[in-house]
């Protein structure tokens, strides 16, 4: 009973900051100059795709000369984010009070990145649970997060990755396990782990294996 009461209180706290479900499958939402297509995949997954994205569902990576990347080389492509820059993007998007409420959501925000060989973010897609309080985050915050990720986060791409037209990879953000430090807090920002651009279990290229320990906050 105590656990149930605490869970209800946590949900009420989140709702105090974000109190509306904004995302209906098959519709669009707009904020901060960005329009997102809202798509439901299966029963439990919601995808927010910037309507300006052009790269689509990547099934093959290519060298700059147009030749396809060999299957045996997919696991050799990697990119390392500049230390602390994911944290910078998050603290530039969410106030300390907002982030404290997000920490009560025990679900991950999954972000698919498309990255240039120079290490810049070209496009991204947000993936959230269709049955979680992630849907209470307003479009303005997703748009601001996208802008800040593109503004602050760059990657150190390994030599093989620099030979490609682009790379793609997932980042799993678990707010409940992240420690962020805002101005006035006594400790410096966190260091981000490396992201390996690996194929998905279903064989699609460049998407990190979700069984790997690549969750921001772990």
Distance of alpha carbon 4 from alpha carbon 186, whole angstroms: 34
Q: Please compute Rg for the chain using Cα positions.
A: 18
Which residues are within 8 A (CB) of 193 and not within 5 positions of it... i.e. 6 or more apart?
213, 214, 216
pLDDT in tens, 173-204: 999 999 898 988 876 545 554 444 555 555 55
pLDDT in tens, 43-99: 899 999 999 999 988 889 999 999 999 999 999 999 999 999 999 999 999 999 999
24: closest CA among 46, 43, 52? 46
Phi-psi region of 203 (alpha: psi -120 to 50; beta: other; left: phi over 0): left
In this prediction, residue 4 carries a pLDDT of: 33
The residues with which 172 forms a beta bridge, in sequence order, are 110, 215
Work out how many domains the chain is built from and give that number.
Answer: 1
The residues with which 79 forms a beta bridge, in sequence order, are 157, 195
| Coil/strand/helix, residue 110 | strand
Query: How does strand 215-216 pair with strand 167-174?
Result: parallel
Q: pLDDT band for 3, please (50, 70, 90 cuts).
A: very low
Which residues are within 8 A (CB) of 39 and not within 5 positions of it... i.e. 6 or more apart?
25, 26, 46, 47, 49
- Asked if residue 214 has pLDDT above 70, the reply is no
Question: What interhelical angle do 85-93 and 139-152 show, nearest 10?
Answer: 150
Alpha helices in the chain (DSSP H): 2-17, 85-93, 96-102, 139-152, 159-162
Task: Identify the domain containing residue 175 by its residue range.
Answer: 2-216
């Amino acid at each position: 009973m105590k656990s149930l009461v605490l869970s209800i209180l946590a949900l009420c706290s989140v709702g105090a900051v974000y109190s509306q479900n904004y995302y209906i499958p098959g519709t669009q939402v707009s904020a901060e100059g960005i329009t997102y297509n809202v798509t439901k995949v299966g029963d439990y997954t919601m995808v927010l795709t910037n309507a300006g994205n052009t790269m689509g569902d990547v099934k093959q990576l290519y060298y700059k000369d147009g030749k396809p990347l060999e299957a045996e080389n997919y696991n050799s492509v990697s990119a390392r984010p500049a230390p602390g820059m994911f944290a910078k993007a998050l603290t530039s998007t969410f106030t300390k009070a907002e982030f404290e409420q997000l920490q009560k959501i025990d679900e991950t925000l999954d972000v698919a990145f498309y990255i240039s060989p120079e290490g810049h973010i070209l496009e991204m897609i947000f993936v959230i649970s269709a049955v979680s309080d992630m849907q209470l985050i307003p479009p303005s915050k997703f748009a601001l997060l996208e802008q800040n990720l593109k503004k602050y986060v760059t990657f150190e791409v390994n030599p093989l990755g620099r030979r490609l037209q682009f790379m793609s990879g997932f980042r799993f953000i678990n707010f409940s396990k992240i420690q962020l430090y805002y101005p006035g807090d006594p400790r410096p920002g966190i260091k981000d782990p490396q992201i390996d651009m690996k194929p998905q279990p279903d064989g699609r290229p460049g998407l990190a294996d979700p069984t790997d320990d690549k969750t921001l906050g772990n």
